């Protein structure tokens, strides 16, 4: 029997995919790839398939199937194409499914993995934000385990072994009651010190230029508005089963401490590392052990100091919108996420200003789209309606 840990990557051609595959590349004796799924970047997907020789490769954009087949001609790699076919790959039993698709587009395959009782390394926070209730219920029923890849959540996860016990279905009630609060850190993004009266001139290029992390475009914009930290607060609520008042976020421009737990006895336990997604991903791949790889050493003396600042509400209105959506609960997180995806795409396309992202999300939330959030279809219906409302708002701005 192979001692390899077998991995499927959803979103293999993106930034999370790159970071996961970099670890696999360094550790061929430990990991083997079962399936790789990409959206539409067929050339990159083909390169990865030829390098990592998975059993199967999936491309969501079915129009690229022929090109993928041409590139993989002569190999034994099976090809599937189209959203539904790709989604099904998440159910093939493996040691870990990396959920690295961006946006709610990742929800159907995430659900497939949850229904199949898989262990999931979750980067695709949008799915948990919008469908956290359904995912939690279905995961509990099917014995699926969700391990955070997001650096802040991985930090919280690494700070207390009780979360791991909880994943195995143990009652960790006593341990949970010793937690006063958790704290997620945020770098503050590229506009932490930009004058507020210059926000009107922010371009997509400015917004995706993150000072500490290299990531996909959507999450980079979310980091610039700090919607990302808001989404992460909601993500933390579902991952750790803590209420909004026990989840805090602070700005920490060095991105060295990623998260901490404040215990009721006055102790705080924090996790530190360089701003490198391979650190949390390596933990998810090897936990509860540690992968012996070759991370960039962190020189704390050279670093000298760590700073912490509050999140200014005027500078980062998206953060409070997300916090309030969590408190409001019900459909609000799904509306927040759907509207944000539309607004970010419109900003990246040059249709609206940076500041309009928050306005569109706020105005979409104010329409109070109601509905049920207890089934996948119901969540998708709320998401669709939020996108429709947000699209109308974008069109209105474009027409001005
Ligand atoms: P990215 O844009 O670099 O990559 C996205 C991936 O999703 C690509 O492989 C793309 O092909 C695929 N994809 C997009 N639409 C798809 C569809 N409809 N069907 C199938 N595949 C599709 O994004 P990213 O930065 O890697 O982020 C991915 C997720 O991880 C996001 O939810 C993000 O918030 C989260 N995350 C990313 C980082 C990071 O460092 N990049 C850190 C924490 C969390
Ligand atoms: Mg994060």
Q: pLDDT tens across 203-213, in order?
A: 999 999 988 88
- Whether 120 and 186 share a structural domain: no
- Whether 139 and 13 share a structural domain: yes
**Can you tell me the distance from the alpha carbon of 256 to that of 260, in angstroms, rounded to the nearest whole number?**
11
- Whether 96 and 237 share a structural domain: no
Of 130, 148, 166, the one marking the end of a domain is 148
**Can you tell me the distance from the alpha carbon of 255 to that of 275, in angstroms, rounded to the nearest whole number?**
6
- Whether 195 and 142 share a structural domain: no
**Can you tell me the distance from the alpha carbon of 78 to that of 56, in angstroms, rounded to the nearest whole number?**
4
Q: Is 330 exposed, middle or buried (0-12, 13-18, 19+ CB in 10 A)?
A: middle
Q: Would you state the pLDDT for residue 163? A: 95
Looking at the 3D structure of the chain, how many domains does it have? 2
Gyration radius of the chain over CA positions = 20
Residue 295's contacts (CB-CB under 8 Å, 6 or more residues apart) are 273, 274, 276, 278, 279, 282
Instruction: Look up the CATH number of the domain holding residue 139.
Output: 3.40.50.720
- Asked whether residue 287 is assigned to any structural domain, the reply reads no
- Asked whether residue 47 is assigned to any structural domain, the reply reads yes
Whether 212 is in the pocket of ligand 1, judged by its Cβ within 6 Å, is: no
Q: Would you state the pLDDT for residue 169? A: 86
Q: Which two tokens stand for residue 66?
A: 């022929």
- Asked whether residue 25 is assigned to any structural domain, the reply reads yes
- Asked whether residue 307 is assigned to any structural domain, the reply reads yes
CA 215 to ligand 1 center in whole angstroms: 9
Closest C-alpha residue for ligand 1 atom 21: 39
Q: Which two tokens stand for residue 192?
A: 């932490």
This prediction's pTM: 0.98
CA 221 to ligand 1 center in whole angstroms: 13
Closest C-alpha residue for ligand 1 atom 2: 216
Q: Would you state the pLDDT for residue 90? A: 98
Instruction: Look up the CATH number of the domain holding residue 165.
Output: 1.10.1740.10
- Whether 179 and 328 share a structural domain: yes
- Whether 44 and 133 share a structural domain: yes
Whether 39 is in the pocket of ligand 1, judged by its Cβ within 6 Å, is: yes
Of 84, 117, 148, the one marking the end of a domain is 148
Q: pLDDT tens across 63-99, in order?
A: 999 999 999 999 999 999 999 999 999 999 999 999 9
Q: What is the DSSP string of 183-200?
A: EEEE--GGGSSS-GGGGG
Closest C-alpha residue for ligand 1 atom 42: 150
3-state helix, strand, coil in the chain (%, to 5): 50, 15, 35
User: What stretches in the chain show pLDDT beneath 50?
Assistant: 1
CA 99 to ligand 1 center in whole angstroms: 8
- Whether 104 and 250 share a structural domain: no
- Whether 143 and 38 share a structural domain: yes
- Asked whether residue 179 is assigned to any structural domain, the reply reads yes
**Can you tell me the distance from the alpha carbon of 20 to that of 14, in angstroms, rounded to the nearest whole number?**
10
Helix (H/G/I), strand (E/B), else coil: 373: coil
Residue with tokens 């399936």: 35
- Whether 220 and 140 share a structural domain: no
- Asked whether residue 264 is assigned to any structural domain, the reply reads yes
- Whether 59 and 191 share a structural domain: no
Whether 154 is in the pocket of ligand 1, judged by its Cβ within 6 Å, is: no
Q: Give the single-character DSSP code of 64.
A: G
The residue segments making up the domain with residue 69 are: 5-148
What is the number of other CB atoms lying within 10 angstroms of the CB of residue 103? 21
Q: Would you state the pLDDT for residue 1? A: 46
Atom of ligand 1 nearest to the CA of 217: 2
- Asked whether residue 366 is assigned to any structural domain, the reply reads yes
- Whether 114 and 222 share a structural domain: no
- Whether 17 and 102 share a structural domain: yes
Helix (H/G/I), strand (E/B), else coil: 257: strand
For residue 255, the ligand closest to its alpha carbon is 2
- Asked whether residue 290 is assigned to any structural domain, the reply reads no
CA 250 to ligand 1 center in whole angstroms: 25
Of 116, 148, 180, the one marking the end of a domain is 148
Q: Would you state the pLDDT for residue 2? A: 58
């Amino acid at each position: 029997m192979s001692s390899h840990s077998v991995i499927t990557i959803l979103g293999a051609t993106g930034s999370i995919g790159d970071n996961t595959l970099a670890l696999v590349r360094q550790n061929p004796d430990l990991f083997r790839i079962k399936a790789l799924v990409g959206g539409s970047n067929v050339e990159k997907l083909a390169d990865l398939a030829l390098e990592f020789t998975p059993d199967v490769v999936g491309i969501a954009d079915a129009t690229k199937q022929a090109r993928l087949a041409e590139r993989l001609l002569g190999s034994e790699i099976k090809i599937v194409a189209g959203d539904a076919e790709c989604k099904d790959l998440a159910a093939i039993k493996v040691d870990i499914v990396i959920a690295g698709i961006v946006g709610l587009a990742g929800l159907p395959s995430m659900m497939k993995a949850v229904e199949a009782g898989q262990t999931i390394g979750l980067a695709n926070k949008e799915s948990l934000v919008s469908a956290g209730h359904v995912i939690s219920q279905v995961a509990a029923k099917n014995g699926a385990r969700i391990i955070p890849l997001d650096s802040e959540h991985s930090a919280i996860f690494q700070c207390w072994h009780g979360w791991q016990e909880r994943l195995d279905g143990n009652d960790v009630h006593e341990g949970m009651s010793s937690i006063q609060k958790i704290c997620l850190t945020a770098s503050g993004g590229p506009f932490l010190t930009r004058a507020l009266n210059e926000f009107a001139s922010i371009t997509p290029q400015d917004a995706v230029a993150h000072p500490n992390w290299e990531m996909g475009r959507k999450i980079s914009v979310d980091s610039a508005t700090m919607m990302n930290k808001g989404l992460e607060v909601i993500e933390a609520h579902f991952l750790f089963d803590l209420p909004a008042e026990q989840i805090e976020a602070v700005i920490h421009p060095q991105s060295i401490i990623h998260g901490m737990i404040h215990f009721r006895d006055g102790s705080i336990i924090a996790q530190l590392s360089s701003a490198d997604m391979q650190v949390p991903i390596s933990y998810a791949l090897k936990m509860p052990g540690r992968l012996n790889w070759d991370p960039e050493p962190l020189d704390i003396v050279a670093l000298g100091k760590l700073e912490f600042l509050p999140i200014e509400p005027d500078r980062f209105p998206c953060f409070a919108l997300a916090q309030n959506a969590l408190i409001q609960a019900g459909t609000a997180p799904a509306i927040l996420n759907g509207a944000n995806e539309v607004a970010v795409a419109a900003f990246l396309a040059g249709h609206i200003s940076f500041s309009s992202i928050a306005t569109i999300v706020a105005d979409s939330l104010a329409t109070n789209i109601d509905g049920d959030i207890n089934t996948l279809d119901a969540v998708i219906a709320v998401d669709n309606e939020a996108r429709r409302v947000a699209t109308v708002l974008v069109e209105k701005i474009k027409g001005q």
